[in-house]
């Protein structure tokens, strides 16, 4: 079943991560594909707290959405052990209709490959009944290939020599036999005796006729083996060449890739070398798949669902090559283009998870507690505990509904989440200033605005002196005209705005007087809607 990845933007916040997980859970109830939640970046402290609280694993990291070998390879591989004969592999090819069979050891490491071309070359040799002069072979292998019975001799003994068909009179036949040869004869005891007296390595009696006790004893005395086969003489002679070990015939010039190799790279290599396949090994060298030319020709783009964004610059590398099947977002529509129609749900709500819940209701699915908890966390994070001007009645209704499933006061949970977002006492002032910093070019001025969201701003302001030192340092190094840090207190529904640089701009923008380089702005929580516009106008 195809895998469809669901992910948010490159700098994932709680909404981006939780919406991807909750929506993947919903989509997987439909059984039309496998939906995989993913992330494009590192998870922040707040999101980590949420995932740990509800015992939900973090999503898979997705470095890009280019097709990888893992997306197109065959995992049900027809392979053969090193103990196989050429005949065994030929039968596998015919049975499974494949053109190449990897030969693997007990650890599934590839020792070589048998292909149609190798079998064809071997078939041409067996037309001439080449024998085993170049490839000594165990009697046990020969017996198995001939579907025969080893009456005299040890299975592990290796024999070599040419194969002689004893179809002529004994006195003429012996002229073609050399010591160590293999002789195939029918139920003619005089021919059998004559062959054994030539010190052959193996007597092959065709037609399934058992030799007499005297012939068997003669073979023992001479150190020769006897195999009885149901095949006729000529067929037996031809089959002997197919009894050799695959390790004596394997090809070792083949392409190997890993599951993470890009499809475009393996396509170039396969086409460039006229190869028909590439073997796929994991990091330990174990065979895990095979990619054929047909896999590469018939591949379809990776299918993805975007949440919490719809702009190419915010999305995964290679998004223009992917097939976008859905978008759920609460921001402006970006410039992505799609080749196929898709479901796009873009609405002016405070959080993408509000839209995810809308989809749960549309599909008649009640989210389990863990998914409800993730969506509560996302909505409260994006709307600053429902205090942000970006919240909507639908966000508030979503919290009421999900809170019933959660079984606890959502706002109490939200306050714990906000306190976990910043461990104020352990974080350095540089991290507090830059961890959520956005840069704006306002006219000819460069302005940096960071934000720390807390449930008690006094924890941050207790370190104001060292924060100001860090801000002055950062403003100088980065050449900002104005650097601001919003210490947003969710419970007080306001922001302590700390400023360095052209601080007169702040006083002009908000009609306040800075005291020790900061001022409290009641009702101000949104950087985008409530800080940037007044600063821009003042500049």
**Distance (Å, whole) CA 265 – CA 377:** 41
Q: Tell which CATH architecture fits domain 71-124+248-297.
A: Roll (3.10)
Tokens 């994006």 map to which residue?
382
Retrieve residue 200's tokens.
């052959």
Q: Sketch the domain layout of the chain as residue ranges.
A: 3-67+302-417, 71-124+248-297, 133-243, 429-538
Among the listed residues 53, 19, 50, 64, the one whose alpha carbon sits nearest the alpha carbon of residue 37: 19
Find out whether 289 and 76 touch, Cβ atoms under 8 Å. no
What is the pLDDT, as a whole number, of residue 86? 83
**Distance (Å, whole) CA 292 – CA 281:** 14
Between CA 349 and CA 355, with CA 354 as vertex, the angle to 5 degrees is: 85
Is 130 exposed, middle or buried, given 0-12, 13-18 or 19+ CB atoms closer than 10 A?
middle
Among the listed residues 292, 237, 288, 19, the one whose alpha carbon sits nearest the alpha carbon of residue 126: 237
Q: What is the pTM of this model?
A: 0.66
Give CA separation, 368 vs 43, 79, 122, 372, 406, in Å: 23, 43, 62, 6, 9
**Distance (Å, whole) CA 134 – CA 272:** 34
**Distance (Å, whole) CA 4 – CA 342:** 14
Longest Cα separation, the chain: 124
Give CA separation, 23 vs 16, 303, 305, in Å: 11, 15, 9
DSSP summary character for residue 241: G
What is the pLDDT, as a whole number, of residue 123? 63
Find out whether 254 and 275 touch, Cβ atoms under 8 Å. yes
What is the pLDDT, as a whole number, of residue 495? 96
What is the pLDDT, as a whole number, of residue 133? 59
Among the listed residues 224, 221, 220, the one whose alpha carbon sits nearest the alpha carbon of residue 200: 224
Find out whether 387 and 369 touch, Cβ atoms under 8 Å. no
Kindly provide the residue ranges of all beta strands, DSSP E only, lying in 8-86, ordered along the sequence: 34-39, 60-61, 80-81
Give CA separation, 4 vs 157, 232, 306, in Å: 55, 57, 11
Half-sphere exposure of 177 (CA within 13 A, CB side): 31
pLDDT beneath 50: ranges in the chain: 127-129
Give CA separation, 97 vs 17, 83, 193, 224, 271, in Å: 45, 21, 44, 39, 22
What is the pLDDT, as a whole number, of residue 491? 82
Question: DSSP letters of 414-478?
Answer: HHHHHHHH--TTTS-HHHHHHTTEEEEEETTEEEEEEEEEES-THHHHTTHHHHHHHHHHHHHHH
Instruction: Report the Cα–Cα distance between both ends of the chain, in Å, rounded.
Output: 56
Find out whether 177 and 183 touch, Cβ atoms under 8 Å. yes
Write the class of the CATH domain 3-67+302-417.
alpha beta
**Number of helices (H) and strands (E), helices first, in the chain?**
21, 24
What is the β-pairing status of strands 437-442 and 445-454?
antiparallel
Write the class of the CATH domain 429-538.
alpha beta
Per-residue pLDDT tens digits for 287-344: 999 998 888 877 788 899 999 998 888 888 989 888 999 999 998 777 677 777 788 8
Is 430 exposed, middle or buried, given 0-12, 13-18 or 19+ CB atoms closer than 10 A?
middle
Write the class of the CATH domain 133-243.
alpha beta
Element (H, E) at 272: helix 263-272
């Amino acid at each position: 079943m195809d895998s469809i990845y669901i992910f948010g933007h490159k700098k994932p916040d709680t909404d981006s991560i939780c919406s991807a997980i909750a929506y993947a859970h919903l989509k997987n109830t439909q059984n039309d594909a496998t939906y995989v939640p993913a992330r494009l970046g590192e998870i922040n402290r707040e999101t980590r707290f949420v995932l740990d609280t509800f015992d939900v694993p973090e999503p898979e990291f997705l470095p890009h959405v280019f097709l990888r070998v893992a997306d197109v390879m065959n995992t049900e591989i027809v392979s053969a052990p090193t103990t196989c004969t050429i005949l065994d592999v030929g039968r596998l090819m015919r049975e499974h209709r494949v053109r190449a069979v990897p030969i693997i050891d007990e650890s599934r490491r590839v020792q070589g490959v048998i292909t149609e071309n190798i079998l064809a070359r071997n078939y041409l040799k067996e037309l001439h009944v080449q024998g085993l002069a170049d490839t000594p072979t165990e009697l046990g292998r020969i017996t198995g290939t001939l579907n025969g019975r080893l009456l005299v001799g040890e299975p592990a003994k290796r024999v070599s020599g040419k194969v002689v068909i004893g179809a002529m009179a004994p006195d003429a036949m012996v002229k073609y036999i050399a010591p160590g040869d293999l002789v195939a004869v029918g139920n003619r005891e005089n021919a059998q005796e004559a062959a054994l007296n030539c010190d052959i390595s193996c007597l092959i009696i065709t037609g399934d006729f058992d030799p007499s006790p005297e012939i068997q004893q003669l073979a023992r005395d001479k150190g020769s083996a006897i195999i009885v086969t149901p095949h006729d003489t000529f067929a037996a002679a031809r089959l002997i060449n197919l009894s050799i070990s695959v390790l004596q015939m394997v090809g070792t010039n083949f392409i190997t890739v890993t599951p993470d190799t890009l499809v475009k790279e393996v396509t170039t290599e396969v086409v460039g070398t006229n190869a028909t396949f590439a073997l796929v090994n994991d990091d330990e060298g174990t065979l895990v798949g095979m990619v054929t030319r047909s896999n590469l020709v018939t591949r379809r783009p990776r299918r993805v669902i975007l949440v919490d964004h719809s702009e190419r610059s915010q999305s995964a590398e290679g998004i223009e090559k992917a097939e976008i099947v859905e978008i759920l977002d609460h921001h402006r529509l970006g410039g992505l283009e799609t080749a196929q129609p898709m479901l796009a749900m873009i609405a002016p709500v405070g959080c993408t998870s509000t839209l995810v819940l809308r989809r749960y209701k549309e599909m008649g699915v009640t989210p389990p507690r863990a998914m409800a908890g993730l969506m509560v966390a996302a909505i409260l994070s994006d709307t600053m505990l429902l205090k942000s001007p970006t919240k909507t009645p639908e966000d508030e209704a979503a919290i009421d509904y999900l809170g019933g499933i959660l079984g606890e006061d959502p706002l109490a949970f939200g306050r714990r989440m906000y306190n976990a977002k910043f461990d104020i006492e352990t974080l350095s002032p540089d991290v507090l200033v830059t961890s959520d910093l956005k840069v704006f070019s306002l006219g000819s001025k460069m302005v940096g605005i960071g934000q720390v969201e807390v449930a008690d701003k006094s924890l941050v302001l207790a370190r104001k002196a060292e924060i100001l030192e860090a801000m002055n340092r950062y403003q100088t190094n980065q050449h900002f005209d104005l650097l601001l840090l919003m210490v947003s207190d969710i419970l007080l529904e306001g922001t302590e705005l700390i400023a360095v640089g052209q601080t007169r701009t702040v006083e002009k923008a908000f009609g306040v007087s800075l005291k020790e380089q900061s001022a409290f702005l009641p009702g101000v929580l949104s950087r985008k809607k409530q800080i940037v516009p007044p600063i821009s106008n003042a500049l």
